[in-house]
Structure 1
Amino acid sequence: MMILSGFLMAGLAIVACGGEEEDEPGGGQSGELEGKQLQELTASEAQAVCEDVGTQFAFSDEDSCEVAAVSFTLLGRDCEEMKQKCLNGEVTETSNECDTSKFEGCSATVAEAKRCFGAMAASQKALTCESTFLDLAVVPPECETIVNKCPEFMSNDSEGGGA
Protein backbone atom coordinates (compact mmCIF):
# COMPACT_ATOMS: atom_id res chain seq x y z
CA MET A 1 0.00 0.00 0.00
CA MET A 2 2.97 2.33 0.68
CA ILE A 3 4.15 2.00 -2.95
CA LEU A 4 0.65 2.71 -4.21
CA SER A 5 0.36 5.69 -1.89
CA GLY A 6 3.73 7.07 -2.98
CA PHE A 7 2.87 6.62 -6.64
CA LEU A 8 -0.45 8.37 -6.15
CA MET A 9 1.20 11.28 -4.34
CA ALA A 10 3.81 11.57 -7.11
CA GLY A 11 1.05 11.80 -9.72
CA LEU A 12 -0.99 14.32 -7.78
CA ALA A 13 2.09 16.46 -7.20
CA ILE A 14 2.83 16.47 -10.91
CA VAL A 15 -0.74 17.51 -11.69
CA ALA A 16 0.06 20.62 -9.69
CA CYS A 17 3.27 21.00 -11.71
CA GLY A 18 1.36 21.18 -14.99
CA GLY A 19 2.29 24.55 -16.34
CA GLU A 20 1.40 26.83 -19.17
CA GLU A 21 4.07 25.30 -21.42
CA GLU A 22 3.30 25.12 -25.11
CA ASP A 23 5.87 22.39 -25.86
CA GLU A 24 4.67 19.13 -27.33
CA PRO A 25 3.79 16.84 -24.41
CA GLY A 26 6.54 14.30 -23.86
CA GLY A 27 8.86 16.03 -26.31
CA GLY A 28 10.25 19.49 -25.92
CA GLN A 29 13.49 20.41 -24.23
CA SER A 30 14.46 16.96 -22.93
CA GLY A 31 14.00 14.99 -26.17
CA GLU A 32 17.74 14.52 -26.65
CA LEU A 33 17.98 12.98 -23.17
CA GLU A 34 15.58 10.06 -23.86
CA GLY A 35 18.17 7.30 -23.30
CA LYS A 36 19.78 8.84 -20.25
CA GLN A 37 18.97 7.52 -16.77
CA LEU A 38 17.23 9.98 -14.46
CA GLN A 39 19.97 9.55 -11.85
CA GLU A 40 22.59 10.65 -14.41
CA LEU A 41 20.97 13.99 -15.25
CA THR A 42 22.57 17.29 -14.35
CA ALA A 43 20.46 19.74 -12.37
CA SER A 44 19.50 21.69 -15.50
CA GLU A 45 18.71 18.51 -17.46
CA ALA A 46 16.57 17.21 -14.58
CA GLN A 47 14.65 20.48 -14.50
CA ALA A 48 14.10 20.32 -18.29
CA VAL A 49 12.75 16.77 -17.95
CA CYS A 50 10.55 17.86 -15.08
CA GLU A 51 9.12 20.73 -17.14
CA ASP A 52 8.50 18.44 -20.13
CA VAL A 53 6.74 15.86 -17.97
CA GLY A 54 4.75 18.71 -16.42
CA THR A 55 3.30 19.54 -19.83
CA GLN A 56 1.63 16.11 -19.86
CA PHE A 57 -0.16 17.18 -16.68
CA ALA A 58 -1.26 20.58 -18.00
CA PHE A 59 -4.89 19.85 -17.23
CA SER A 60 -7.80 22.20 -17.68
CA ASP A 61 -9.06 23.79 -14.46
CA GLU A 62 -12.00 21.40 -14.51
CA ASP A 63 -9.81 18.31 -14.95
CA SER A 64 -7.41 19.47 -12.23
CA CYS A 65 -10.26 20.13 -9.84
CA GLU A 66 -11.87 16.79 -10.64
CA VAL A 67 -8.62 14.92 -9.84
CA ALA A 68 -8.28 16.87 -6.59
CA ALA A 69 -11.93 16.30 -5.70
CA VAL A 70 -11.68 12.55 -6.26
CA SER A 71 -8.66 12.46 -3.96
CA PHE A 72 -10.66 14.32 -1.29
CA THR A 73 -13.19 11.47 -1.30
CA LEU A 74 -10.50 9.42 0.45
CA LEU A 75 -11.00 11.79 3.38
CA GLY A 76 -14.76 11.33 3.31
CA ARG A 77 -15.49 14.57 1.45
CA ASP A 78 -18.16 14.93 -1.23
CA CYS A 79 -16.55 14.95 -4.67
CA GLU A 80 -18.95 17.35 -6.42
CA GLU A 81 -18.78 19.80 -3.50
CA MET A 82 -14.96 19.73 -3.47
CA LYS A 83 -14.82 20.13 -7.26
CA GLN A 84 -16.99 23.25 -7.05
CA LYS A 85 -14.90 24.65 -4.20
CA CYS A 86 -11.78 24.05 -6.27
CA LEU A 87 -13.28 25.72 -9.35
CA ASN A 88 -14.28 28.67 -7.12
CA GLY A 89 -10.71 28.95 -5.81
CA GLU A 90 -11.68 27.85 -2.30
CA VAL A 91 -9.28 24.88 -2.19
CA THR A 92 -5.67 25.64 -1.28
CA GLU A 93 -3.28 24.91 -4.12
CA THR A 94 -0.29 22.65 -3.61
CA SER A 95 3.26 23.59 -4.51
CA ASN A 96 3.96 23.58 -8.21
CA GLU A 97 7.64 22.79 -7.79
CA CYS A 98 8.86 19.55 -9.26
CA ASP A 99 11.16 17.74 -6.82
CA THR A 100 14.06 16.55 -8.97
CA SER A 101 15.76 15.06 -5.90
CA LYS A 102 13.47 12.06 -6.52
CA PHE A 103 15.64 11.33 -9.59
CA GLU A 104 18.52 10.27 -7.31
CA GLY A 105 18.89 6.50 -7.33
CA CYS A 106 16.47 6.16 -10.25
CA SER A 107 17.89 4.00 -13.04
CA ALA A 108 14.86 4.44 -15.34
CA THR A 109 15.53 6.37 -18.52
CA VAL A 110 13.94 9.67 -19.40
CA ALA A 111 11.91 7.88 -22.10
CA GLU A 112 10.61 5.34 -19.56
CA ALA A 113 9.64 8.12 -17.16
CA LYS A 114 7.85 10.04 -19.90
CA ARG A 115 5.89 6.93 -20.94
CA CYS A 116 4.87 6.30 -17.34
CA PHE A 117 3.82 9.84 -16.56
CA GLY A 118 2.03 10.16 -19.90
CA ALA A 119 -0.04 7.08 -19.03
CA MET A 120 -0.59 8.40 -15.52
CA ALA A 121 -1.78 11.76 -16.88
CA ALA A 122 -4.21 10.03 -19.24
CA SER A 123 -5.66 7.91 -16.42
CA GLN A 124 -6.01 10.95 -14.15
CA LYS A 125 -7.67 13.02 -16.89
CA ALA A 126 -10.24 10.24 -17.22
CA LEU A 127 -11.27 10.55 -13.54
CA THR A 128 -14.70 11.91 -12.72
CA CYS A 129 -16.69 12.19 -9.51
CA GLU A 130 -18.11 8.79 -10.47
CA SER A 131 -14.61 7.30 -10.11
CA THR A 132 -13.70 5.08 -7.19
CA PHE A 133 -10.59 4.87 -5.04
CA LEU A 134 -9.45 1.97 -7.22
CA ASP A 135 -9.71 4.17 -10.32
CA LEU A 136 -7.62 6.82 -8.59
CA ALA A 137 -5.03 4.36 -7.30
CA VAL A 138 -4.47 2.34 -10.47
CA VAL A 139 -0.82 2.16 -11.51
CA PRO A 140 -0.66 2.08 -15.32
CA PRO A 141 1.31 -0.86 -16.78
CA GLU A 142 3.63 1.68 -18.42
CA CYS A 143 4.84 2.54 -14.91
CA GLU A 144 6.12 -0.91 -13.93
CA THR A 145 9.66 0.20 -14.79
CA ILE A 146 9.39 3.27 -12.57
CA VAL A 147 8.00 1.17 -9.70
CA ASN A 148 10.97 -1.21 -10.03
CA LYS A 149 13.79 1.23 -10.81
CA CYS A 150 12.85 4.36 -8.87
CA PRO A 151 12.23 3.68 -5.19
CA GLU A 152 12.29 7.40 -4.30
CA PHE A 153 9.40 8.13 -6.68
CA MET A 154 7.35 5.59 -4.81
CA SER A 155 8.21 6.72 -1.30
CA ASN A 156 5.66 8.79 0.57
CA ASP A 157 7.84 10.98 2.76
CA SER A 158 6.27 12.84 5.65
CA GLU A 159 7.71 16.13 4.44
CA GLY A 160 5.36 16.16 1.45
CA GLY A 161 8.11 16.44 -1.17
CA GLY A 162 6.08 15.06 -4.05
CA ALA A 163 7.63 14.16 -7.38
Structure 2
Amino acid sequence: MSGLRFLLVQILRFGLYVGVHVLLISRLVLFDLGWCFFYLGFLLFLPIGTPIVVQLLLSFGLGLTVDIFYDTGGLHAAAAVLLGFLRPWVLRLLTPRDGYDSADSVNVHQMGWQWFGVYLALLVMLHHAAFFLLELGSFRHLGLTMGKMLVSALFTSLALLIVQLLFFPVRRGRN
Protein backbone atom coordinates (compact mmCIF):
# COMPACT_ATOMS: atom_id res chain seq x y z
CA MET A 1 0.00 0.00 0.00
CA SER A 2 2.96 2.35 0.51
CA GLY A 3 3.64 2.27 -3.27
CA LEU A 4 0.10 3.45 -3.97
CA ARG A 5 0.39 6.13 -1.30
CA PHE A 6 3.71 7.30 -2.80
CA LEU A 7 2.13 7.48 -6.26
CA LEU A 8 -0.83 9.48 -4.97
CA VAL A 9 1.46 11.91 -3.13
CA GLN A 10 3.53 12.44 -6.30
CA ILE A 11 0.39 13.05 -8.40
CA LEU A 12 -0.80 15.58 -5.83
CA ARG A 13 2.62 17.29 -5.80
CA PHE A 14 2.61 17.40 -9.62
CA GLY A 15 -0.81 19.04 -9.69
CA LEU A 16 0.12 21.46 -6.93
CA TYR A 17 3.37 22.65 -8.54
CA VAL A 18 1.82 23.00 -12.01
CA GLY A 19 -1.34 24.63 -10.64
CA VAL A 20 0.52 27.18 -8.52
CA HIS A 21 2.86 27.93 -11.41
CA VAL A 22 0.14 28.36 -14.03
CA LEU A 23 -2.37 30.22 -11.86
CA LEU A 24 -0.10 32.42 -9.72
CA ILE A 25 3.64 32.42 -10.24
CA SER A 26 3.71 32.72 -14.03
CA ARG A 27 2.28 36.23 -13.77
CA LEU A 28 5.27 37.44 -11.73
CA VAL A 29 7.97 38.99 -13.89
CA LEU A 30 10.98 40.94 -12.62
CA PHE A 31 11.77 43.98 -14.80
CA ASP A 32 10.85 42.08 -17.99
CA LEU A 33 14.04 40.10 -17.37
CA GLY A 34 13.29 37.39 -14.81
CA TRP A 35 10.66 34.67 -14.69
CA CYS A 36 10.06 32.13 -11.95
CA PHE A 37 9.92 28.53 -13.16
CA PHE A 38 8.22 27.33 -10.00
CA TYR A 39 7.19 23.98 -11.48
CA LEU A 40 10.84 22.84 -11.34
CA GLY A 41 10.35 22.23 -7.62
CA PHE A 42 8.47 19.06 -8.47
CA LEU A 43 11.52 17.59 -10.23
CA LEU A 44 14.16 19.01 -7.93
CA PHE A 45 12.51 17.78 -4.75
CA LEU A 46 11.75 14.22 -5.89
CA PRO A 47 13.09 11.51 -3.56
CA ILE A 48 16.76 10.80 -4.19
CA GLY A 49 16.11 7.12 -4.89
CA THR A 50 13.76 7.83 -7.81
CA PRO A 51 14.93 5.77 -10.82
CA ILE A 52 16.27 7.78 -13.77
CA VAL A 53 13.68 6.41 -16.20
CA VAL A 54 10.90 7.61 -13.90
CA GLN A 55 12.62 10.99 -13.57
CA LEU A 56 12.87 11.36 -17.34
CA LEU A 57 9.23 10.41 -17.87
CA LEU A 58 8.10 12.78 -15.13
CA SER A 59 10.31 15.53 -16.56
CA PHE A 60 8.83 15.11 -20.02
CA GLY A 61 5.28 14.98 -18.66
CA LEU A 62 5.80 18.06 -16.53
CA GLY A 63 7.46 20.04 -19.33
CA LEU A 64 4.81 19.00 -21.84
CA THR A 65 2.03 20.02 -19.44
CA VAL A 66 3.55 23.48 -19.02
CA ASP A 67 4.13 23.70 -22.78
CA ILE A 68 0.44 23.01 -23.38
CA PHE A 69 -0.57 25.88 -21.10
CA TYR A 70 1.87 28.36 -22.68
CA ASP A 71 2.00 27.11 -26.30
CA THR A 72 5.79 27.03 -26.19
CA GLY A 73 6.29 24.13 -28.59
CA GLY A 74 8.37 21.84 -26.40
CA LEU A 75 10.78 24.35 -24.85
CA HIS A 76 9.77 23.50 -21.30
CA ALA A 77 9.75 19.77 -22.08
CA ALA A 78 13.26 19.84 -23.55
CA ALA A 79 14.73 21.84 -20.69
CA ALA A 80 12.92 19.74 -18.06
CA VAL A 81 14.15 16.48 -19.62
CA LEU A 82 17.69 17.86 -19.54
CA LEU A 83 17.21 18.65 -15.85
CA GLY A 84 15.84 15.14 -15.23
CA PHE A 85 18.82 13.65 -17.05
CA LEU A 86 21.43 15.74 -15.20
CA ARG A 87 19.89 15.41 -11.71
CA PRO A 88 21.39 11.95 -10.93
CA TRP A 89 24.80 13.19 -12.09
CA VAL A 90 24.61 16.21 -9.81
CA LEU A 91 23.40 14.03 -6.92
CA ARG A 92 26.35 11.70 -7.53
CA LEU A 93 28.70 14.67 -7.64
CA LEU A 94 27.37 15.95 -4.31
CA THR A 95 27.15 12.57 -2.54
CA PRO A 96 28.07 12.93 1.15
CA ARG A 97 30.87 10.82 2.60
CA ASP A 98 28.39 8.36 4.14
CA GLY A 99 26.20 8.27 1.04
CA TYR A 100 22.49 8.91 0.89
CA ASP A 101 19.88 7.09 2.94
CA SER A 102 17.37 5.27 0.74
CA ALA A 103 14.54 7.32 2.24
CA ASP A 104 16.29 10.69 1.83
CA SER A 105 14.69 13.43 -0.15
CA VAL A 106 16.16 16.73 -1.23
CA ASN A 107 15.71 18.86 1.85
CA VAL A 108 17.70 21.90 2.96
CA HIS A 109 17.25 20.93 6.61
CA GLN A 110 18.62 17.40 6.15
CA MET A 111 21.33 18.08 3.58
CA GLY A 112 22.55 21.45 4.81
CA TRP A 113 22.68 24.90 3.28
CA GLN A 114 25.88 24.42 1.31
CA TRP A 115 24.80 21.13 -0.29
CA PHE A 116 21.34 22.47 -1.08
CA GLY A 117 22.68 25.76 -2.48
CA VAL A 118 25.07 24.03 -4.88
CA TYR A 119 22.42 21.48 -5.90
CA LEU A 120 19.78 24.11 -6.55
CA ALA A 121 22.05 26.64 -8.27
CA LEU A 122 23.64 24.08 -10.56
CA LEU A 123 20.46 22.41 -11.75
CA VAL A 124 18.38 25.58 -12.03
CA MET A 125 21.13 27.35 -13.97
CA LEU A 126 21.55 24.40 -16.37
CA HIS A 127 17.77 24.25 -16.93
CA HIS A 128 17.55 27.99 -17.54
CA ALA A 129 20.52 27.99 -19.89
CA ALA A 130 18.90 25.27 -21.98
CA PHE A 131 15.49 26.94 -21.93
CA PHE A 132 16.61 30.46 -22.84
CA LEU A 133 19.15 29.34 -25.46
CA LEU A 134 16.53 27.13 -27.11
CA GLU A 135 14.06 30.00 -26.96
CA LEU A 136 16.56 32.37 -28.56
CA GLY A 137 17.52 29.91 -31.29
CA SER A 138 20.84 31.63 -31.94
CA PHE A 139 23.61 33.52 -30.20
CA ARG A 140 22.53 36.87 -31.62
CA HIS A 141 21.38 38.53 -28.36
CA LEU A 142 23.56 36.53 -26.02
CA GLY A 143 24.03 39.35 -23.47
CA LEU A 144 20.30 39.82 -22.92
CA THR A 145 19.79 36.06 -22.79
CA MET A 146 22.53 35.67 -20.18
CA GLY A 147 20.81 38.38 -18.12
CA LYS A 148 17.49 36.54 -18.40
CA MET A 149 19.17 33.28 -17.36
CA LEU A 150 20.83 34.82 -14.32
CA VAL A 151 17.86 36.85 -13.05
CA SER A 152 15.41 34.01 -13.69
CA ALA A 153 17.71 31.49 -11.97
CA LEU A 154 17.97 33.72 -8.90
CA PHE A 155 14.20 34.29 -8.86
CA THR A 156 13.42 30.58 -9.26
CA SER A 157 16.03 29.52 -6.68
CA LEU A 158 14.75 32.02 -4.14
CA ALA A 159 11.14 30.88 -4.62
CA LEU A 160 12.10 27.21 -4.27
CA LEU A 161 14.22 27.96 -1.19
CA ILE A 162 11.20 29.65 0.40
CA VAL A 163 9.11 26.56 -0.39
CA GLN A 164 11.76 24.38 1.28
CA LEU A 165 11.88 26.53 4.39
CA LEU A 166 8.10 26.77 4.75
CA PHE A 167 6.82 23.35 3.74
CA PHE A 168 9.54 20.74 4.25
CA PRO A 169 10.16 19.10 7.63
CA VAL A 170 12.91 20.58 9.76
CA ARG A 171 14.49 17.30 10.80
CA ARG A 172 14.09 13.58 10.61
CA GLY A 173 12.23 11.76 13.36
CA ARG A 174 14.61 10.12 15.82
CA ASN A 175 14.20 6.56 17.01
- TM-score normalized by the length of structure 1: 0.30
- Which structure has the highest helix share of the two? 2
Q: TM-score, normalised by structure 2?
A: 0.29
Larger RCO: 1 or 2 (CA < 8 Å, sep 6+): 1
Larger Rg: 2
